[in-house]
Structure 1
Amino acid sequence: MTVRLLRSAGPACVTILLVLAVWISVTAFGLVPDYVIPAPLAVLDSLVSTWPGRLGSATLLTATETVVGVMLGVFVALFVVIVSGFVPTIGQAMTPLLVASQAIPVIVIGPLLTISLGYGMAPKVIVVALLCFFPVALNLLAGVRAVDTRLIDTLRSLHATRGSLFWRVRLPSAAPRGFAGLRVSVTFAPVAAVFAEYTGSTNGLGYLMLQAIPRLQTDFVFAQVLVLTVMSSLLLASVTLLERLICPWNTPAGKRNPS
């Protein structure tokens, strides 16, 4: 177990250590100004000193917007897929619209939502939900349609209903694809919330960045980027764990022991 963990996590840890070593060397020898790339200790000091006041509350707000937005996007995607599963015509009609909608940057919608909904959480939640909705919905719809037709024909010969085929075969078969889309979505969801806060907010990481960047408080900006990185990593780990719980057959152990 320990050897396997070292093999999987070792390369990533070595890469992080190398990047950190280069970062320390560049700042220690003064190769770049502090307002461009601050020293790691300065970033850590900024993180610790501002967390009890501004940074902690801003992180909580941005994290709340992100989690609620992800949950809303997944809920709407599941609703669309379930309706499409029982009424295939709806799914066929919506697929071109979903694909075409990808040409519209979700971030551009942020200012319009701020104008119509104000400076509260609602515009940020909707932006994150839109970002998560499309990848999850498209992957689930593709997975529902990619089920082996021979399996479907066999179950129909055994008088399986459309509902049982969807709940017991199509949706479980599409779940791994849905989680693949969700993993991509949650990685960018905190950044989407920050960009939505750029368009108008009174708190949050995006609001703090807008204040810190003109003042050249680079160490504070780096501290916020570090917080966003940790937030994305935690979301990704949570989705991976949830996938293992819901789709155990799609794990390496499940594939080796399909019974």
Structure 2
Amino acid sequence: MARVLPAALTVLLVLAGWIGLTASGQVADYVIPSPGSVLASLMTNWPDTLGRATMVTAAETLAGVGAGVAVAVAMVVLTGCLPLVGRSLTPLLVASQAIPTIVIGPLLTIALGYGMSPKIIVVALLCFFPVALNLMAGIGSVDPRLIDAMRTLNAGRSALFWRVRLPHAAPRGFAGLRVSVTFAPVAAVFAEYTGSTDGIGYLMLQAIPRLATDFVFAQVVVLTALSGLLLGAATLLERLICPWITPERGES
């Protein structure tokens, strides 16, 4: 209760302020709709359009997160086993983030069309950098005493990487993953803006010119819920893979 109650009270206060603002009549409904109208729009549009669009955006997000994490882990493993190759790939790691996503999205749409592939690549690029950067930082911050202790046991480079460096870096990698999955649905929606025939981003493009603000807010609620589910899944996965980490005390 001590951990949940403050957050619950904050949400209730925000909701109460939202209701009071819209009930006062000082703000037009097409600017800030009431929570009731947002909920009604969500319930009305979910069976016909919003539910299907959410599934499309969720599939793009999950595929992009999986691809980005897989490439990040593969690069880190390659760096750990072959440091020279890893150092050669580091400039590409930086370059992948130097190019703005706002430029990459339209180019991918031109090259790959209006399907799911451009959206998956955009989400993968977003997820790749935080996970790879945190893993590489964790691998480089291992306590030298652990390395020395393993070397006294005749551990080679491979054993040091798999038994010491990678387990030590895993919690940092999951920290990067939690950041990535929070923004991944937004990246998928942004990629849908550049060209799509379905998805939440496509519905937003249709709703904004019609001033259907309640429908836009309903889609924002769905995106928030999707981000929360992904964050919870990443946290659960961390506790399963890294059982030596406790949320209260950190690494044990």
Residue in 2 aligned with 1:35? 30
Number of equivalent positions:
252
Residue in 2 aligned with 1:3? none
Residue in 2 aligned with 1:191? 186
Aligned 1:18-29 pairs, distance under 5 A: 18-29=13-24
Give the drift of 1:79.
0.5
Deviations along 1:165-214, one digit per CA (max 9) or x if unpaired, are: 11111110000110011110000000000000000000000000000000
Structure 1 runs (4+) deviating above 3 angstroms are 252-256
Give the drift of 1:104.
2.2
Counterpart-to-counterpart distance in 2, 1:188 and 1:111: 19
Contact 2:96 2:125 in 1 (8 A): no
Counterpart-to-counterpart distance in 2, 1:111 and 1:196: 8
3-state DSSP class of the match of 1:102?
helix
Counterpart-to-counterpart distance in 2, 1:90 and 1:109: 26
Counterpart-to-counterpart distance in 1, 2:75 and 2:152: 28
Residue in 2 aligned with 1:244? 239
Distance of aligned partners of 1:35 and 1:199 in 2 relative to their CA distance in 1, 3 Å threshold: same
Counterpart AA for 1:174: A
Give the drift of 1:151.
1.4
Give the drift of 1:148.
1.5
Q: TM-score, normalised by structure 2?
A: 0.96
Report percent identity of matched pairs: 69
3-state DSSP class of the match of 2:209?
coil
Deviations along 1:52-71, one digit per CA (max 9) or x if unpaired, are: 00000000000000001000
Q: Does residue 124 of structure 1 match 2:119?
A: yes
Q: Does residue 91 of structure 1 match 2:103?
A: no
Q: Does residue 107 of structure 1 match 2:92?
A: no
3-state DSSP class of the match of 1:8?
coil
* 1:156 paired residue among 128, 151, 157: 151
Counterpart-to-counterpart distance in 2, 1:244 and 1:253: 12
* 1:208 paired residue among 200, 203, 208: 203
Counterpart-to-counterpart distance in 1, 2:248 and 2:211: 50
Task: Please list every run of 5 or more consecutive structure 1 residues that lacks an aligned counterpart in the other structure.
Answer: 1-5
Q: Does residue 138 of structure 1 match 2:137?
A: no
Distance of aligned partners of 1:254 and 1:14 in 2 relative to their CA distance in 1, 3 Å threshold: closer
RMSD between superposed Cα atoms in Å: 1.4
Counterpart-to-counterpart distance in 1, 2:124 and 2:175: 16
Give the drift of 1:149.
1.8
Counterpart-to-counterpart distance in 1, 2:250 and 2:92: 35
Counterpart-to-counterpart distance in 1, 2:177 and 2:103: 21
Contact 1:107 1:192 in 2 (8 A): no
Q: TM-score, normalised by structure 1?
A: 0.94
Residue in 1 aligned with 2:63? 68
Counterpart-to-counterpart distance in 1, 2:50 and 2:213: 14
Contact 1:107 1:127 in 2 (8 A): no
Counterpart AA for 2:6: P
Distance of aligned partners of 1:107 and 1:185 in 2 relative to their CA distance in 1, 3 Å threshold: farther
Q: Does residue 176 of structure 1 match 2:158?
A: no
Give the drift of 1:31.
1.1
Counterpart AA for 2:38: V
